[in-house]
Structure 1
Amino acid sequence: MHKVFQVVQHLRPGGLENMVLDIQQFSLFNDNTWVISLEGDKESALRHWPKLKAVEDRLIFLNKQEGLSLGLLIKLKQFFEREQPDVVHTHHVGPLLYAGFAARLAGVKAIIHTEHDAWHLAARKRRMLQKLALKLARPIVVADGSAVAQSLQLNLGLEQVKTIHNGIDTNRFCPGSKAEARQKLSLPQNVRLVGCSGRMEAVKNHEMLIGAIGYLDEDIHLVLAGDGSCMPQLQYRTLVEGLGHRVHFLGHTDDMPVFYQALDLFCLPSLFEGFPLAPLEAQACNIPAIVTDVGCCKDTLCPISGRLLENHHAKDAANAIADMLNSRLEANPRQFITRHFDVRTMAKAYDDLCHLELHGQAALVEDSK
């Protein structure tokens, strides 16, 4: 069985981090897969994200401090030489620079790097850093969506980028009782409920969504799941605009299937994204979705039931929301998600890539028989 180390910058609630945990859970090598977090410590991570407790024996925290650290590179090289992993799989540029290069120096045979978004490559400094990291680590490069792959090829001159779409656990994210879900979350029953989940940071653009609610009928409410630095100012805005009774802040929510089951419509208003998981999760619960046309968001939409926002204007978003809520659902978005974005398909694609790198095409074909 292959020994695999996935490496992330930090382990805090987020789409990338959830995806890494899903790969660990659903991989054929799951009992032999560890996750290394460059930043933070285990005690704090477990306290802020209880989900981690299920796999805490396979989590490693290096408590990296701000700034460049030669000592961390040396520590990782020595760690990989001692542990002798078959595969090191990095996510984003920081882990690629440290763990990817350390794995190359330690003689690890298979080094895989997944890029989850590409909007940061618009900055010349970030492009130069990414090029350096790729040159030092020489990994197999994977993009989580076609737009990310195209950006990597265009901005970094990469010729070979493999695309493996993110996936979710469609057994966990499934339809449920709307009334029961609202009761569990203490949400009003006799309203039409638009929901959004994600970190409350400026890039997620919750402010635009709150502005859109102000244009809509009184029986349309907004519920936000997630926490972050922007929450106080968003709460203040709802009060100033007289929307306090129509905008519901849940904070960090562990039972996300129940959150989606409570909705009539899901909306992701982000300014930048890679390949987001939230629209997949909502649609797997058979909730139609609206997303902004950034990153790979449009790839996540059911082509019949979904809708793409081509700008970030609150009034246009309000019109789209009203149209969706007043329209009869003509398709089953869950079927689209189960067909294309199940986590088991994603995990198998990564397993196959690991196996191919370690044993070649002939062994992969033999194992599939």
Structure 2
Amino acid sequence: MSVRVLQVLGRSAGGIARHVALLVRELDGHDDFEVDAAGPADTPVVMPKPVHDIVIPDGPLIGHRKAIAELRRTIAEGNYEVVHAHGLRAGVDAALAARTEGVTVLLTCHNLLRPDVSGGIKARLYRWAEPLAVRLTSRTFAVSKDMTEHLRRASGSAADRVETLYLGVGDPPLRMADAPAVRAELGAGESPLIVTASRLSAQKSVDVMLSAVARLPDNVCLAILGRGPAESELREHADSLGIGQRVRWLGWRDDAADVIAAGNVFCLSSVWEGIPLAVQEAMLLGTPVVGTRVGGMPEIVEDRVGGRLVPKNDPERLAEALLEVLESPQTAKRYAAHARERLLEVFSTELMLATLKDAYLDAARAA
């Protein structure tokens, strides 16, 4: 008999959705697993099979009752034996939905909840949600050691349920577009090209990246893959810095890997992170990475060995690191080669899948 697993995700900028798509693609119909996904139908990633259209609200209060009811119905009608939730909000809703069905829920924590919220009722609700999600689920995978330590501290007696699981990103596309053709389409030509891929939100601090680009030579271009609530404000910021003509706002594209591979450097300026899948994808594609020293980033990018890391909210230091990579193709090549080697060794897709298969089997037996 196959083990039926339901992957549950909330609204994702792409990273979590790409991870869930990989799990469905690699596990469904293989090794006695049947794997489906539940989440918003308008996810920016093409899933290998249709998704149960359920929206997990972004906020801490409104709309969760409906999501829980829809998840409960989906779990019951699909005879799922294991639910694997992605993200803390999805974890809480999935656990409450599965409780009445006697189904075991696993959780992958890809990111922490709003570390920028420092006070008030919203901050208390977010701080309450982290340990609640861990306690309601039978096993929690955190994507970095930094996040594991945080969740263990927050979870008290349930701390032993939290473990680190480095995520793999699968194989690069079999067919990649010609890099010069991609650069020509973007209007970059022979100019240095910086690429980023992220949700355009406060967390990603793209305004700092724009300020860094404004400090670079006038021929440097920036391609931004992604959308989000801060997009219009960021466009205005780019114009105010006088670099509007140097920025390419690409939204979400199916050929994101081609764009990343065509770049001279991949940049991420976040104020907090787990271990971003976009960074892993850049490393896999051989594009050197410059990012901020936050969250799990030091676990994947070794500064001055496999890329560059700088303090958050420091456009001057970010510009210096970007210029170092852009001005020295030899340094860029060395960083990229080391990063790819480390990625394949430590962030193994095969090891991740083997761990999850064992976890699903254990969860199914425990149900």
What letter corresponds to residue 318 of structure 2 in structure 1?
A
Cα deviation 1:250-305 (Å, max 9, x = unaligned): 22222111111211111100112122011111111111101111111222225623
The answer on 1:117 being equivalent to 2:111 is yes
Q: List 4+ stretches of structure 1 deviating above 6 A.
A: 173-176
Q: How much has 1:13 moved relative to structure 2?
A: 4.0
Determine the structure 1 residue equivalent to 2:300: 300
Q: 1:208 to 1:75 in 2, by over 3 A?
A: closer
What letter corresponds to residue 84 of structure 2 in structure 1?
H
Determine the structure 1 residue equivalent to 2:317: 316
Residues 279-358 of structure 1: pairs in structure 2 closer than 5 A: 279-301=279-301, 304-327=305-328, 328-329=330-331, 330-331=334-335, 332=337, 333-358=339-364
Aligned alpha-carbon RMSD (Å): 2.6
Q: 1:305 to 1:141 in 2, by over 3 A?
A: closer
C-alpha separation between the residues in 1 aligned to 2:113 and 2:132? 18
Determine the structure 2 residue equivalent to 1:149: 148
Determine the structure 2 residue equivalent to 1:220: 220
C-alpha separation between the residues in 1 aligned to 2:69 and 2:252? 36
C-alpha separation between the residues in 2 aligned to 1:173 and 1:320? 31
Q: 1:167 to 1:17 in 2, by over 3 A?
A: same
Residues 207-286 of structure 1: pairs in structure 2 closer than 5 A: 207-286=207-286
Q: 1:202 to 1:90 in 2, by over 3 A?
A: same
Residues 6-45 of structure 1: pairs in structure 2 closer than 5 A: 6-10=7-11, 12-27=12-27, 29=29, 32-37=34-39, 40=40, 42=41, 45=42
TM-score after normalising by structure 2: 0.85
- Residue 172 of structure 1 aligns to a residue in which SS? coil
**Structure 1 portions without partners, runs of 5+:** 361-369
Q: 1:355 to 1:235 in 2, by over 3 A?
A: same
- Residue 199 of structure 1 aligns to a residue in which SS? coil
Determine the structure 2 residue equivalent to 1:199: 199
Q: How much has 1:248 moved relative to structure 2?
A: 2.0
Q: How much has 1:4 moved relative to structure 2?
A: 0.3
- Residue 311 of structure 1 aligns to a residue in which SS? coil
The answer on 1:62 being equivalent to 2:54 is yes
Using the aligned pairs only, state the percent identity: 22
The answer on 1:128 being equivalent to 2:128 is yes
Q: How much has 1:68 moved relative to structure 2?
A: 5.0
Q: 1:313 to 1:174 in 2, by over 3 A?
A: farther
Question: 262-271 vs 351-360, which deviates more?
Answer: 351-360
TM-score after normalising by structure 1: 0.84
Determine the structure 2 residue equivalent to 1:366: none
C-alpha separation between the residues in 1 aligned to 2:52 and 2:270? 31
Q: How much has 1:230 moved relative to structure 2?
A: 1.9
Determine the structure 2 residue equivalent to 1:97: 92
Contact 1:276 1:300 in 2 (8 A): no
Q: 1:94 to 1:173 in 2, by over 3 A?
A: farther
What letter corresponds to residue 308 of structure 2 in structure 1?
R
Contact 1:119 1:272 in 2 (8 A): no
Quick one: which of 81, 88, 97 aligns to 1:86? 81
Q: How much has 1:139 moved relative to structure 2?
A: 1.6
Determine the structure 2 residue equivalent to 1:189: 189
